[in-house]
């Protein structure tokens, strides 16, 4: 995937150690209010750089008014270009993000590209060998349900692209059978959260009509993004 999809450290002094540890077990949740309905996502604590960066951007209002500028049916929906909020109909979008990247935080096989996964967009391997993430562009996976034959083919592709380091476990394969997703991206992009409510909204968005650049013909906007937990 092209990028088309720093750390906020919150230091709390004077609190008991037990209270801090208890807080660390909680997961941040973000509500994306869109033209087509609400999408609620939870952020993983195992990817703290991406979690804190996303929270900071949400709190700053960065995503408010931006578009899902790249949508591919049976694949994913992508947003996070701040200039898209002012883009005219048919204008090229997806080229802008704040001028920094995030180190990859790939926690595979625990987190993978199942349907509903929230992940960071990035530049391709040939210009981004460390697989660093875009500062702001993200995508939400929809994908397809996969057969054994398809997953075997994906595994062959993954073996070539990851030097045999990314293996689809039986548990992961079962998830792709039952739920679906985009396994060909596993182990190569940072998955930092997942949809916990509003997957039907993601479904409707990913089926919308798009132009030759995969931009929806009718703008689909994130009206507001806010922390709810």
Per-state percent for the chain, helix, strand, coil, to nearest 5: 25, 25, 50
Q: Looking at the predicted structure, is the pLDDT value of residue 72 above 50?
A: yes
Q: Is the residue at 128 inside a domain?
A: yes
CB atoms closer than 10 angstroms to residue 31:
18
Q: Is the residue at 79 inside a domain?
A: yes
**pLDDT tens digits along 96-146:** 889 999 999 999 999 999 999 999 999 999 999 999 999 999 999 999 999
Mean pLDDT of the chain: 91
CB atoms closer than 10 angstroms to residue 114:
21
Task: Calculate helix-pair angle for 170-178, 148-161, nearest 10 degrees.
Answer: 130
| SS3 readout for 95-147 | CCCCCCEECCCCCCCCCCCECCEEEECCCCCCCCCCCCEECCCEEEECCECCC
Question: Which single residue is written with the structure tokens 């049916």?
Answer: 73
> Which domain, by its residues, includes 213?
29-227
DSSP letter, residue 226 = E
Question: Which single residue is written with the structure tokens 């798009």?
Answer: 210
Q: Is the residue at 41 inside a domain?
A: yes
Q: Is the residue at 7 inside a domain?
A: no
DSSP letter, residue 86 = G
10 or 176, which is more confident: 176
Predicted pLDDT at 24? 59
The pTM (predicted TM-score) of the whole model is: 0.89
Q: Is the residue at 173 inside a domain?
A: yes
Report the CATH number that the domain containing residue 147 is assigned in CATH: 2.40.100.10
Whether the Cβ atoms of residue 205 and residue 68 lie closer than 8 Å to each other = yes
Burial class of residue 182, CB neighbours in 10 A (0-12, 13-18, 19+):
buried
Whether the Cβ atoms of residue 141 and residue 199 lie closer than 8 Å to each other = no
Q: Is the residue at 154 inside a domain?
A: yes
Predicted pLDDT at 55? 98
Whether the Cβ atoms of residue 168 and residue 183 lie closer than 8 Å to each other = yes
68 or 20, which is more confident: 68
For residue 102, what are the β-bridge partners?
A: 133
- Spatial strand order in the sheet of 29-34: 68-72, 76-79, 138-141, 117-120, 191-197, 37-43, 29-34, 222-227
Q: Residue 21 corresponds to which tokens in the numbers above?
A: 């540890």
Q: Looking at the predicted structure, is the pLDDT value of residue 23 above 60?
A: no
- Spatial separation of the C-alpha atoms in residues 4 and 130, rounded to whole Å: 18
Q: Which residues contact 75 (CB under 8 A, 6 or more apart)?
A: 141, 142, 143, 182, 206
- The structural domain count of the chain equals 1
Q: Is the residue at 15 inside a domain?
A: no
**Which is nearest to 198 in space by CA: 25, 42, 28?**
42
Q: Is the residue at 34 inside a domain?
A: yes
């Amino acid at each position: 995937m092209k990028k088309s999809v720093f750390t906020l450290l919150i230091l709390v002094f004077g609190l008991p150690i037990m209270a801090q540890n208890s807080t660390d077990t909680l997961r941040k949740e973000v509500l994306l209010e869109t033209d087509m309905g609400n999408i609620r996502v939870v952020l993983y604590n195992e990817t703290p750089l991406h979690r804190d960066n996303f929270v900071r951007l949400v709190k700053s209002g960065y995503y408010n008014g931006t578009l899902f500028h790249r949508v591919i049916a049976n694949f994913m929906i992508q947003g996070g270009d701040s200039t898209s909020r002012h883009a005219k109909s048919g204008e090229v979008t997806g080229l802008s993000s704040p001028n920094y990247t995030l180190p990859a935080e790939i926690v595979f096989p625990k987190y993978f590209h199942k349907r509903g996964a929230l992940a960071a967009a990035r530049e391709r391997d040939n210009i981004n060998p460390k697989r660093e993430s875009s500062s702001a562009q993200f995508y939400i996976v929809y994908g397809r349900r996969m057969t054994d034959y398809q997953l075997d083919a994906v595994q062959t592709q993954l073996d070539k692209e990851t030097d045999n380091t990314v293996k689809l476990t039986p548990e992961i394969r079962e998830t792709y059978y039952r739920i679906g997703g985009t396994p060909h991206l596993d182990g190569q992009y940072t998955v930092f959260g997942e949809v916990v409510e509003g997957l039907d909204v993601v479904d409707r968005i990913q089926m919308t009509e798009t132009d030759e650049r995969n931009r929806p013909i009718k703008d689909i906007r994130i009206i507001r993004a806010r922390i709810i937990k």
